[in-house]
A and B are shown apart, each in its own frame.
Chain A
Amino acid sequence: LKGMHPTPLPQFPSNLRDGEANVASIFVQVFFPMFDTDRARLAAEFYDDDSWFSIQAIANSGRNLPWKTYLKYSRNVHKLGEKNPATVQRLFTGGNLIADMWKALPSTRHPSMENPGAWLIDCHTFPNLADPTGHGFATGLLITVNGQFEESDTTENLYGKRTFTRTFILGPSKPSNPPPVHPYRVISDQLTLHDWTPAELPA
């Protein structure tokens, strides 16, 4: 029946336009292994008092994976409604709160970055963030990651593979941030979790 329906657009590999310093490539290579092994250190290194984090669960079809742990944190504004106080409560601001919340999430194992076929990463720089020194504008970096991780939820004794989208906004660090100082920080981190499995992630 090929050709009997409208046709999905062609798919291309990761599109990395993160400038000469390759900040995005280096960041994701550090981020995902550390998210799997040492979330507290990750939060301390890259997040500060003004960082925002939230997860949204897109749970609507299969029930092949546990959702309980995620649903109580899910900030799916579309489902909750923008006037729901949960949209404020489920927004985690500041590295300490984010680190605490990450402790409650199932442990994860992301695929190796050596396997580019397992990842779709698109990124580019953009203008007009606030400059952290309080003067003028700063350049930001938007990174969108689509992929899968293995998950184990010990509270439910369940294991599985989860499809996810993770959106990062990086911007220059504040001069006042304590060491270890990276030249950039995570301003926004949005984790979207799906309960479907793609037929294949395009290489």
Chain B
Amino acid sequence: MANITKDEAIIRSSGEAARAFTDWYYTQLTDGKPITSAYVNSNAKYLAASHPPADICINGTVVATPEEWDALLEQQRLIPFTGSKGKVKYEVEGFDVHVINKDYRFAAPAEIQAATDAKLMQRTEDARLMMVVTVAGSVVFGGKEKGTPPKQHFSDVFVLVPNWDFVTRPKFKGHKRYLVASHTYRAY
């Protein structure tokens, strides 16, 4: 199965990035906290470079902004019978990640776009990745209320792109190292 064309360092980096992102993202969802900062929309460097807003499609409907997705999640937590807020718990059961552009440079700092400094390019190798992440898990609607809580399974797909604010901090492994440029959600 071994294949010499594989770039093991990049594969490892993509796994770390997907882990940091999913750990943070689904904890935020379960805690009822906003996830808007994870998307390219609010990033100054992507805004300045006129990157289109993140493409967000929720259960087959296009959602214009991360704030609208946040509002949908808020609506989802509502218990119709009482009008109060319940808990919606997201649990990740698996994710897989592929690098789809090893040398992403859109909206990158000038010295990276110019690519004249070989050392800099080598040093930022694991920070210039465009990735696709497929996440699978379950969603439990409530718990403390009466009866068995409804349960769905979800399938999320994200395209992640570099957050250039961290490109010169190779040791930074936080969830914001990469930003969401595309998000497709399905739960059923």
Contact = CB atoms under 8 A, between A and B. Distances in A.
Given A78-B22, A78-B92, A87 B11 contact: yes
Given A88-B6, A140-B100, A194-B136, A6 B95 contact: no
Interface string A89-118: 111111001000000000000000000000
Given A78-B19, A91-B11, A122-B184, A198 B134 contact: no
Interface stretch (A19-27, A38-46, A124-132, A173-181): A124-132
Contact of A91 (B6, B55, B139): B6
B84 to A, nearest CB: 10
A128 B104 contact: yes
B182 to A, nearest CB: 5
A4 B81 contact: yes
Contacts of B88: 6
Interface stretch (A29-37, A49-57, A149-157): A49-57
Given A9-B59, A77-B15, A202-B188, A165 B155 contact: yes
A194 to B, nearest CB: 7
B98 A56 contact: no
B142 A187 contact: no
B30 to A, nearest CB: 12
B60 A120 contact: yes
A143 to B, nearest CB: 9
A63 interface: no
B94 A127 contact: no
A122 B76 CA distance: 21
Contacts of B186: 120, 122, 144, 146, 165
Contacts of B132: 142, 167, 169, 188, 190
Interface stretch (B114-122, B145-153, B163-171): B145-153
Contacts of B188: 11, 120, 146, 198, 201-202
B17 to A, nearest CB: 9
Contacts of A196: 153
A6 B130 contact: no
A76 B96 contact: yes
A8 B3 contact: no
Contacts of A192: 94, 96, 134, 136, 155
Nearest to A57: B94
A3 interface: yes
A144 to B, nearest CB: 5
Contacts of A56: 94-96, 134, 136
A68 interface: no
Contacts of B99: 52
Interface in B155-188: 155, 157, 159, 161, 181-182, 184, 186-188
Contacts of A7: 76, 78-80, 141
B155 A6 contact: no
Contacts of A89: 1-2
A135 interface: no
Interface of B: 1-3, 5-6, 8, 11-12, 15-16, 18-19, 22, 51-52, 55, 57-62, 72, 75-81, 85-88, 92-104, 106, 130, 132, 134, 136, 139, 141-142, 145-147, 149-150, 152-153, 155, 157, 159, 161, 181-182, 184, 186-188
Interface of A: 1, 3-15, 17, 49, 52, 54, 56-58, 60, 75-79, 82-83, 87-94, 97, 120, 122, 124, 126-130, 137, 140, 142, 144, 146, 165, 167, 169, 171, 187-188, 190, 192, 194, 196, 198, 201-202
20 contacts: A4-B145, A10-B59, A77-B19, A82-B18, A83-B12, A87-B12, A91-B6, A93-B5, A122-B186, A126-B159, A128-B101, A129-B101, A146-B188, A165-B186, A167-B134, A169-B100, A171-B100, A188-B132, A192-B155, A198-B153
